[in-house]
Amino acid sequence: MGKGVLTARNFAADGGARTNATSAEVFTRDTEGLRCEGVALSTIADDAGTPCFVYSSAAIRSQYERLYSAVKQVDARLHYSVKANSSIAVLSLLRELGAGLDIVSGGELYRALQAGYNGRDIVFSGVGKTEREIEEALRAQVLMFNVESEQELHVIQDVATRLDLIAPVALRVNPEVLVDTPHPYTRTGEKGMKFGIPFDEALAVAKVASSLANLQLLGLDMHVGSQISQFAPYEVGLQRLLHLRREIERETEARLEYLDIGGGLAVTYDVERSVDVERFGEVIAALVGGSGLKIILEPGRFLVGNAGVLLTRVLYRKRSGGKEFIITDAGMTDLLRPSHYNAFHRIEAVNPTGKTTIADVVGPICESGDFLALDRQVDDAQPGDLLVVRSAGAYGFVMSSNYNSRPRAPEVLVDGDRYAVVTRRESYEDLIRNEIHRPDWRS
């Protein structure tokens, strides 16, 4: 790494906005080809190798500021959903902007604390929290647990009693709204889903929560899905939660402070209309403005999705069965979304050849489901050429795996005219680090 290059460690101290570009503007072209902010992607590919994830600080800042200004007319805080992209460098950048976090595991809590967050900045969501995770979160003094079942309340109560602490809790309620998302796996707020407490049981569960001595019922929470571009699910869900709040306050001692409206705001992968964030803010404000509640949002994808690309090199071309194939050094182990969600990601050449072709863009993994794009008009890229897979900042690296014993790709953060490797590429040694060559047999 050269002079003036950021590392994850000094990033926090060294931050501050250097550019004001929006995510649409941060990936631009000049004579060196595609750039991320002020850095040529070919430079990053030469330095960090491929495949490699590249994130723009300016794009993340700009999305954060946009959403924050849209909702700041209400008493709101953005708790970034760590699972979208849990790189400590990204978490640090968002901490400087004032974000809190939404976590779903003990591992994410660990990352959050490593990135300099306090417990008070963190809400703990997730349908299957273990006792160990609950204890860790209580010791870290998280702002609250978003509780997903009555049984979970009892487990939190037991752990809190053992530690002689009071556990702040919110109930994650399934508002049972119909949500239109591009893929069923990203819907969470419909009847019959594993997430949340069924709406018609929520009042009874609230009564249990307020009767348990080591719990303090502080809020209500919902998360209706991901990649949502309409406001109706939020509106209907919020109305139901506000109604429930009145019932809870009428029938229990609890006085609620927080209303967590979840994440799910969509980003543009292809030609979808982008979310009207300002209008979203108005809709939220109209519903909760007079409620006296503090509002929590849990955006993940919206903040980081379009801030990142997956940089990959073409290995081979071939024709088979009348079809054209572009074989790249990135595959489903790096970016699972195309094969797992049938997701569309734009693919562009860093230095276009000037010709296009219709091809399947596939990875090197021994699976027919290993593709980045099918039957797509793309640049007629030849072996050695660089491609970018756009919109890979969310649910990209975090879903990557070592399948086929492939070391995971590095992550690079760009900030203005400088860049830093913030996650090293895994080595072969990393792949077998936890394996025991001479097993210690026991009986």
Ligand X SMILES: *Cc1c(COP(=O)(O)O)cnc(C)c1O
Which residues here bind ligand X, judged by CB under 6 A? 81, 83-84, 102, 104, 125, 223, 226, 262-265, 298-302, 394
In the complex with ligand X, which residue's Cβ is closer, 125 or 157? Answer: 125
Q: Is the peptide bond before 51 cis (omega within 30 degrees of 0)?
A: yes
Distance separating alpha carbons of residues 187 and 9, to the nearest angstrom:
36
Give the β-pairing of 411-415 and 418-423: antiparallel
Distance separating alpha carbons of residues 110 and 137, to the nearest angstrom:
10
Closest-CA residue to 48 (of 440, 409, 429): 409
One-letter amino acid at 137 equals A
List alpha helices for 252-371, DSSP H: 277-288, 301-304, 337-341
Minimum CB separation of residue 298 from ligand X in Å reads 4
Cα R_g (the chain), whole angstroms? 23
Catalytic choice (13, 213, 366, 436) = 366
Minimum CB separation of residue 189 from ligand X in Å reads 10
- CA 180 vs. chain centroid, Å, equals 19
Q: Which residue is nearest to ligand X (CB)?
A: 300
Minimum CB separation of residue 156 from ligand X in Å reads 17
Distance separating alpha carbons of residues 407 and 142, to the nearest angstrom:
34
In the complex with ligand X, which residue's Cβ is closer, 84 or 241? Answer: 84
CB 419 within 8 A of CB 44: yes
294 C-beta neighbours (distance < 10 Å), count? 18
Q: Which two tokens stand for residue 239?
A: 């109305």
Task: Report in angstroms the alpha-carbon separations of 47 from 36, 58, 145, 359, 392.
Answer: 15, 21, 42, 29, 20
Instruction: Tell the residue number behind the tokens 């379009």, with chain if given.
Output: 306
Minimum CB separation of residue 179 from ligand X in Å reads 11
In the complex with ligand X, which residue's Cβ is closer, 277 or 387? Answer: 277
In the complex with ligand X, which residue's Cβ is closer, 65 or 367? Answer: 65
Distance separating alpha carbons of residues 250 and 242, to the nearest angstrom:
12
In the complex with ligand X, which residue's Cβ is closer, 223 or 408? Answer: 223
One-letter amino acid at 270 equals D
End-to-end CA distance of the chain: 50
Q: Is 366 a catalytic residue?
A: yes
Minimum CB separation of residue 264 from ligand X in Å reads 4
Minimum CB separation of residue 265 from ligand X in Å reads 6
In the complex with ligand X, which residue's Cβ is closer, 296 or 413? Answer: 296
In the complex with ligand X, which residue's Cβ is closer, 193 or 374? Answer: 193
Minimum CB separation of residue 104 from ligand X in Å reads 6
Distance separating alpha carbons of residues 61 and 399, to the nearest angstrom:
23
Active site residues: 366
